[in-house]
Amino acid sequence: MTEIERGLNTCREIHVSAGHTSPERLVSALSTGKRVAILATRENSEEVNHAMCAVEVQAGKIRFIDYPNLDRNVSVEELPAIWDGAVLIIERRVNWAASIGLFVLALFATGLVLRVWHKSVWLRRNLASVLIFFIAYPFAPFERCYSDDKVCKWEQARQTFNIDFGIIEQNQFIQTSVVIENKLGKDIVLIEPSLSCGCLSVLEKIGKIEAGKDGKMVFSLDTKGKRGNLLQTALIGSPNRDEQLIVNFRAVVRGVWTQPESPILIANFEARESNKTSFEVLSSGYENVKIKSCYASDSWLTSTDYPLFEPPSMQAESVRARRRVVVELPKDIDSKNVGNSSKITLELDCGTGETFQLEVPVRVIRQKDSAFVGNIFFGTIKSSEVERDLRFSKQVAEKLIEVKDLSVSFEHDEISGKIEEIGGELVLRTKFIPNEKTKVGFFSGQAKAINAGKLVFEAKYQGIVYAK
């Protein structure tokens, strides 16, 4: 997040605020429509390993731009499970001096228009349009130079230049040159370009471009291991960063893959987790991908694919979810006949005459392999205590009934819990009570139940303390 903040602070047109906040305050900041936020999140991990951009609030949910799904909606209740509160709030910086100066100039121009009012028929007919133009101009958005040509005319101190490779293949090296024409009216000394990824490299550099002349830089882009929408950036600038040219390299890498990443985890009927799971088949760079067949390599595992709604305006240049595949362990099967791993084989038709197979590994988690029974999400905790219940499956409850005087321990002193029977079901009732030693921010830990020196079960918990 520190590196992202440094990169954003090089742009004078935006203001970046770093800190920690709650889901509720994040929603309030985004609701104005004038801000976006970058969140440090967890993706299939207990540690922070991912970043997502929150752009707006729709129907009570926060809309994220997140690779590779792009559009992702997360509710306020679900957010603490993947986010600790670290955030960068980004908003447009208002250049008041330039706006006031242009506004005064507009008033002066209006005075001249009124002075020659009686002398010009054209002005009398078009006065309203002229006034609107001069008054609105100071508040117009900052203009950037976008071009698909590889010859860039550097005319502004801060400028953006786009190169779009279109649809490309994996495992390719793409080499391109950018001819930069210096139209700034002065000589420019350039330092080593800053690159967004190791897959992007500079083959030829420029040390200095004299006023009115040009220079050429050569870049190489490696698509090995890439798929879907690709955006890499090279920041070219002077030593004091007064002049900056951002070169964006865009492409769509052709491919088909699954989400979430394999292997797909599934627990059998002996475990607390569901004996059914699913994954989506995603593609990019293809007009129409179809699943011709979907089958499991073992008879004890079943799989079924279902079509997903796709709008008629679907284009190959974007990442799309094609199908959803449901993987299931039948409940009436003997656990002795269930293996520890299997695989789902998909035969795909890409609509270009090209067909290939996609193998998705499946791993089975058994109850005996782990004492884990579930997660406890406390959410956002303010000044009062919070209670949460963790319901046990029937199989786990039957084992707990046989154990007497079972105590549960937690890693945080603020949390206490005990096993109770509620409505005919056995649950772990927990309570978080803030005290003077409670730290504000994200917390997580494990709850363990030990009997006669043996671990009976364990659960994970997490939440965010907003205020004490």
On whether both 66 and 37 belong to a single domain, the answer is: yes
Could you give the CA distance from residue 21 to residue 440 in angstroms, rounded to a whole number? 10
Same domain as 171, residue 108: no
Q: Which residues pair with 355 in a beta bridge?
A: 349
454 domain-assigned = yes
Residues 259 and 364 in one domain: yes
Instruction: Report which residue type is found at 104.
Output: V
3-class DSSP state of 450: strand
347 and 264 in one domain? yes
Closest CA to 302 of 333, 271, 334: 333
Q: State which of 84, 111, 139 marks the end of a domain.
A: 139
CATH number of the domain bearing residue 239: 2.60.40.10
pLDDT at res. 221:
87
CA distances from 118 to 17, 106, 107, 114, 333 (A): 53, 20, 19, 8, 94
pLDDT tens digits in sequence order for the chain, 468 residues long: 777 877 777 777 787 877 777 788 888 888 878 889 999 888 777 778 888 899 888 887 888 887 666 778 888 888 888 888 888 888 876 666 666 777 777 777 776 666 655 555 555 555 555 565 555 544 444 333 333 457 888 888 888 888 888 888 888 888 888 899 998 899 989 988 888 888 888 888 888 999 989 888 888 888 888 888 888 899 998 888 888 898 999 888 888 888 776 677 676 544 444 567 777 788 888 877 788 888 888 887 888 877 665 443 334 445 766 677 878 777 666 666 777 788 888 888 877 777 878 888 887 766 554 567 778 888 778 778 888 888 877 767 777 766 656 778 898 888 998 888 887 788 888 999 888 888 877 788 888 887 777 777 888 888 878 655
In this structure, are 100 and 88 located in the same domain? no
Question: Residue 187: inside a domain, yes or no?
Answer: yes
Of the candidates 334, 315, 351, 321, the one whose C-alpha atom is nearest the C-alpha of residue 258 is 321
pLDDT at 291: 82
Query: Do both 266 and 346 map to the same domain?
Result: yes
- Which residue range(s) make up the domain with 17? 2-92
Closest CA to 319 of 248, 277, 259, 247: 259
**One domain, residues 408 and 455:** yes
The answer to the question of residue 459 being in a domain is: yes
Q: Is residue 146 part of a domain?
A: no
* Largest CA-CA distance found in the chain, in angstroms, rounded: 103
- If asked whether residues 360 and 460 sit together in one domain, one would say no
The residue out of 322, 344, 368 marking a domain boundary is: 368
Which pLDDT score, from 0 to 100, does residue 144 have?
33
Tabulate helix, strand, coil % of the chain (nearest 5): 15, 50, 35
pLDDT given for residue 74 in this prediction: 87
In a domain, 80, yes or no: yes
Q: Using CA atoms, how far apart are residues 66 and 38, in angstroms rounded to an integer?
A: 10
User: What's the pLDDT at 404?
Assistant: 55
pLDDT of residue 268: 53
CATH number at residue 433: 2.60.40.3170
Residue 204 tokens read as 């030829």
> Pick from 224, 253, 282: which residue ends a domain?
253
Report the SS3 class of residue 188: strand
In a domain, 27, yes or no: yes
- Residue 142 is predicted with a pLDDT of 35
Q: Are residues 229 and 131 in the same domain?
A: no
Q: Note whether residue 271 is domain-resident.
A: yes
Report the DSSP beta bridge partners of residue 372: 458
**Same domain for 338 and 414?**
no
Q: Which CATH number does the domain housing residue 13 bear? A: 3.90.70.10
Do 233 and 244 lie in one domain? The reply is yes
Task: Give the DSSP letter string of 58-96.
Answer: ETTEEEEEETTTEEEEEETTTGGGTEEEEEEEEEEPP-H
Helix H or strand E encompassing 245: strand 244-253
Q: Please indicate, yes or no, if residue 381 is contained in any of the structural domains.
A: yes
Say what the pTM is.
0.45
190: nearest Cα among 428, 406, 182 = 182
Q: 310 and 333 in one domain?
A: yes
Tally of domains within the chain: 5
